[in-house]
Amino acid sequence: MTEKLLQPREMLLALVNPVEGQDEAFRPWYWETHIPEVLGLPGFVAAQRYRAATEAPASHQYATIYEVEGSAASALGLLFGAGLGMSPDLDLSTMVFVPFVAEGNPVLP
């Protein structure tokens, strides 16, 4: 069996909440406007969005994992410096961003 080594990419985890009572207004902006804008920034390759399972208590309702080329820490700086539009429905006080680096190379069969 031949194994192929892939270049690992770094990830940027975004944990966010809507302003209380504004979930219906928040989701279309976040999914249809904000995430595509972020993916238009240099180095942002892909995004996978998640919502908390209703049966699980969580500090954040939504998570997005951005796959980036290059440094996730640099991507975070670019994201905050890009001047992207914000929504009044996003709870800025609860946002959390965590850059992650790969440990080792992923191996595909």
pLDDT in tens, 46-82: 999 999 987 777 889 999 999 999 899 999 999 989 8
Residue type, position 24, single letter = E
- Paired residues of 64 in beta bridges: 14, 49
CA dihedral (33, 83, 41, 23) positive or negative = negative
Helices (H), the chain: 23-28, 35-39, 72-81
Instruction: Indicate whether 1 pLDDT > 50.
Output: no
Between CA 72 and CA 77 the distance in angstroms is: 9
Strand ranges of the sheet holding 96-100, from the earlier edge strand across to the other edge: 44-51, 62-68, 10-16, 96-100
Q: Using one digit for the tens of pLDDT, what is the confidence trace for 5-35?
A: 556 689 999 999 999 999 999 999 999 999 9
Backbone angles phi, psi at 98, to 5 degrees: -130, 115
